[in-house]
């Protein structure tokens, strides 16, 4: 049953489907790292991005590129509005974490209900058809959606890495994430950094949702499920670790895809909740890859040093 072909197919499909999981996990993780906020409003931003693309492409018949730009613009506008009109006001009032959380949660639910009222609860897709022609590469079937999705994910990851490491606003983001008060003393405008972070997260969410909507059916509450996936990845990957969240999102996608071999497909969704709960119980501080490596070195020092017991 577990032939090379099956394993290779699962790995490839997981890599392809992880594209939107990785991007939404990074969007959640970057806000958590810089703004120190569990941003549930990300679900609202993703819902708006999808329905903007759906309106332009699915309903008005415009090309896919127009839908992508529409999704991006809509998500950026909503992200800016949430930050400027909501979060900034609450910050200035010194609102508690609970208050800010309720705000982000209510925004995501408000947008979901609005989408239900306007578009109904029927599943929708960006393009009328979800069929993508497939090509056989050895034993692996590669669909026409897979390669652009993986390429987009890798390009966005590289762009974000370069932005954070090489560009001034990105470095300011890292400074604020490290110590917001000290960063402010050095003349970094915190509010502007928080806005930039929200915009980046909005853009990441829009790309993720566009990819998702071109491959699967979307309902007004779909983005909340995607957000849970992002939360699980952020918790396991270590809070404040964007790349840890991205890597964990890929592993979770792999786990979900591989689970069809062992459990009925209707239980696939349930797996996420088990992982989320286990993550909180077993890895509340996230998986510390460095610590695991150190533990491994301590347990198997000779083998790793490539020295034979006799030589010791």
Partner 1 sequence: MEYFYTVIILIGLYVVLASSFNLIIGYGGLISIAHPVFYAIGAYTSALLSRDFGVPIVASMFIGAAVAVIASIALALPSLRVSGDYLLIASIGFQLGLLELIKNVSWTGGAGGLTNIPSFLVQSVGRETYVALVVVVAVLSVWLVRSIAHGPYGRALSAMRDDELAYSALGRNAIATKVSVFALGSGLAGFAGALYAHYFRYIAPEQFEILQSAAILTMVVVGGMRSTWGPVVGAVMLEALPQAITFLNLPPSVLGPLQGLLFTGLVLIFMFLRPQGLVPAGDLWRATGDKDAR
In the complex, the smallest distance separating the C-beta of residue 111 from partner 1, rounded to whole angstroms, is: 9
Provide the token pair at 91.
């910050």
Q: Least distance to partner 1 from the beta carbon of 244, Å?
A: 16
Cβ-defined contacts of 285-290 (< 8 Å, 24+): 285/238, 285/239, 286/235, 286/236, 286/237, 286/238, 286/239, 286/241, 286/244, 287/236, 287/237, 287/238, 287/244, 287/248, 288/238, 289/244
Written as six digits, the tokens of 247 are: 């890597």
Tell me the residue length of the chain: 312
CA nearest to 72, candidates 187, 146, 156, 8: 156
- Identify which of residues 75 and 108 has a Cβ nearer to partner 1 in the complex: 108
List the beta bridge partners of residue 218: 124
Nearer to partner 1, 48 or 175 (CB): 48
Q: Which is nearer to partner 1, 261 or 280 (CB)?
A: 280
Nearer to partner 1, 21 or 68 (CB): 21
Nearer to partner 1, 162 or 280 (CB): 280
Q: How far is the CB of 87 from partner 1 (least distance, A)?
A: 12
List 124's β-bridge partners, or say none: 218
Task: Report in angstroms how near the CB of residue 194 gets to partner 1 at its nearest.
Answer: 18
Q: What distance, in Å, lies between the first and last C-alpha atoms of the chain?
A: 44
Q: What is the DSSP letter of 184?
A: H
Cβ distance to partner 1 smaller for residue 95 or 251 = 95
**Residue whose CB is less far from partner 1, 96 or 293:** 96
To partner 1, the closest distance from the beta carbon of 171 in angstroms equals 27
Interface residues toward partner 1, by CB under 8 A: 38, 89, 93-99, 101-103, 105-107, 109-110, 112-114, 116-117, 120-121, 221, 224-225, 228, 231-232, 235, 266-267, 269-270, 272-274, 276-277, 280-281, 284-285
Find the largest Cα–Cα distance for the chain: 75
Least separation in angstroms between CB 183 and partner 1: 23
Query: Cβ 274 to partner 1, closest distance in Å?
Result: 7
Alpha-carbon distance of 249 to 25, in angstroms, equals 7
């Amino acid at each position: 049953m577990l032939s090379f072909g099956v394993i290779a197919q699962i790995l490839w499909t997981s890599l392809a489907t992880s594209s939107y999981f990785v991007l939404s996990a990074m969007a959640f993780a970057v806000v958590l790292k810089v703004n120190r906020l569990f941003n549930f409003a990300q679900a609202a931003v993703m819902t708006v991005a999808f329905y903007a693309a759906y309106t332009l492409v699915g309903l008005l018949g415009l090309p896919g590129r127009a839908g992508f730009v529409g999704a991006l613009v809509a998500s950026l506008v909503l992200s800016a509005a949430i930050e400027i009109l909501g979060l900034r006001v609450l910050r200035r009032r010194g609102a508690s974490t609970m208050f800010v959380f309720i705000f982000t949660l209510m925004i995501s639910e408000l947008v979901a209900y609005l989408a239900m009222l306007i578009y109904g609860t029927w599943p929708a897709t960006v393009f009328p058809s979800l069929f993508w022609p497939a090509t056989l590469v050895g034993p692996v079937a590669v669909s026409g959606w897979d390669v652009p999705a993986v390429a987009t994910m890798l390009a966005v990851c590289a762009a974000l890495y370069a932005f954070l490491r090489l560009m001034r606003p990105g470095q300011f983001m890292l400074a604020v994430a490290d110590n917001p008060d000290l960063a402010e003393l050095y003349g970094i405008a915190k509010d502007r950094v928080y806005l930039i972070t929200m915009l980046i997260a909005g853009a990441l969410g829009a790309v993720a949702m566009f990819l998702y909507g071109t491959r699967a059916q979307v309902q007004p509450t779909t983005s909340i499920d995607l957000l849970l996936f992002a939360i699980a990845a952020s918790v396991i990957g270590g809070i404040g670790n964007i790349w840890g969240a991205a890597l964990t999102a890929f592993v979770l996608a792999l786990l979900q895809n591989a689970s069809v071999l062992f459990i009925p497909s209707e239980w696939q969704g349930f797996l996420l909740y088990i992982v989320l709960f286990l993550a909180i119980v077993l890895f509340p501080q996230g998986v510390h890859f460095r610590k695991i490596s150190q533990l491994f070195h301590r347990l198997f020092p000779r083998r790793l040093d490539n020295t034979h017991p006799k030589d010791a």
